[in-house]
Amino acid sequence: MKSTRMRLPRMCAAVAAAGVLIAPAVAGSAYGASAPALTAPAGPSPDADSDFPQLTPAVAARLDTAVRQVMSEARVPGVTVGLWAPGKGSYVKSFGVADKATGAPMKPDLHVRIGSETKTFTVTALLQLVDQGKLSLDDPIGKYIADVPNGDRITLRELAGMRSGLFNYSLDPDFIKKFQADPEQSFTPKQLLDYSFENPVQFQPGAQFDYSNTNLILLGLVVEKITGRPIHEVIEQDVVKPAGLHRTVFPTSAAMPDPHAQGYTNQTASGKTENSTDWNPSWAWAAGEMVSDLQDLRSWAHTLATGTLLTPATQSERLKTTPMNVPGDGYGLGIFNVQGWIGHNGSIPGYEVLPVYLPEARATMVIVLNTDSQSEGQEPSTLFGEAVTQIVTPDHVYPGHKPLAPKPS
């Protein structure tokens, strides 16, 4: 699948990314074992004082310099970086512009599209149904959705863990052609699945890790079928509201809530940078359609990693990971662990976010930016995450290894 992505036109990288997974993930490698479960203790660690520095003016100055350097090298219009750790202070600062046409500055309170961070909400809604006894992670998808290839053998667990083997619809050439023709058009979940199912399965269920938006479209349909409600209502009522999030929405149109940053992408057919703010995110649906802001993402990163909306048993299942391509990195059920940082990133044309939580320091990092344009094949959110963590958590550098793979879908 990596080589397939490399052959696609530039626009495809953006479309394939409903929000990127972790940048170092390389699809198509086989893994036969699971990594140890991630741990996300809510209380302090014995070594918490040594895990994270005081966010003094001197440290803030180093962070300012590092962020500006990445902005310059990656040509990022605007970015906001937030760091918080109990007893260590906080660092919240915006750089650059939110709107290149007007010069309006980037600010911490602006809404952005969050791409694949949406997957964490969809899988949380699914796991809540597990806790309610309404389904099992080991149920085959065919029990709920008809005509899925290998539907009698692919489990909900394998869908949430990116091990289904189903082709990623957003890499289908016909889908890409249609999207390129009009990025503001709307897609239905059925249309998206049709693009996937026209392609052969990539491998047998559970045999490999392979990041695919198709998996989350199916899980979104399962949530709708079990609850009898649209996915946007389920997520907003059962996940967003109980989590205490006030500026996070699952839109039903391309409209962005105000105030919001303008989004810019060069993942276009021409390779030229375009304003993608009003592109319709329906093509990403339960895999990447949501909108949020810095403070809500800060809160959600902690909620997601510590499992406060789930039973301890279900959260434990969520945090069992399948290795990716680098020792120490793993993917659970709609969640990852990259060098100890637990969470998920997201990318969609024009925007990227990186909300993650480091349990041993009880530290949260959120990076929000208004472009998904890659720099020498690397995600800009990853570049910022790496630059920041080299300063504050040198033993847990995100992602901490190069080279990085292209956007995995």
Residue range 376-387, pLDDT digits in tens: 889 999 999 999
Model-level pTM greater than 0.75? yes
Q: Tokens for 108?
A: 């911490």
Q: Work out the average pLDDT over 65-73.
A: 97
Tell the burial category of 296 from Cβ atoms under 10 Å away from its Cβ (0-12, 13-18, 19+). buried
Please tell me the predicted confidence (pLDDT) of residue 195.
98
* pLDDT value of residue 399: 86
Sequence-ordered alpha helix ranges (H) in 35-185: 48-51, 57-74, 117-131, 156-160, 173-181
**φ/ψ of residue 247, rounded to 5:** -130, 30
Position 197 scores a pLDDT of 98
Poorest-pLDDT segment among 127-136, 266-275, 284-293, 397-406: 397-406
Report pLDDT for 270.
81
Q: Where would I find the beta strands (DSSP E) of 86-193?
A: 89-96, 112-113
Question: DSSP states of 367-400 as a string?
Answer: EEESB---BTTB-HHHHHHHHHHHHH-TTS-SS-
Percentage of the chain beyond pLDDT 90 is 80
Could you read off the pLDDT of 152-198 as tens digits, one per residue?
999 999 999 999 999 999 999 999 999 988 999 999 999 999 999 99
Summarize the confidence of residues 247-253 as an average pLDDT: 97
What integer is the mean pLDDT of 256-282?
93
* Confidence grade of residue 326 (pLDDT, cut at 50, 70, 90): low
In angstroms, rounded to a whole number, what is the distance separating the alpha carbons of residues 164 and 201?
9
Query: Does residue 327 have a pLDDT over 80?
Result: no
pLDDT, tens digit, 9 for 90 and up, residues 124-150: 999 999 999 999 999 999 999 999 999
Q: Could you give the 3-state DSSP secondary structure of residue 44?
A: coil
Range name among 17-21, 119-123, 367-371 with the lowest pLDDT average: 17-21
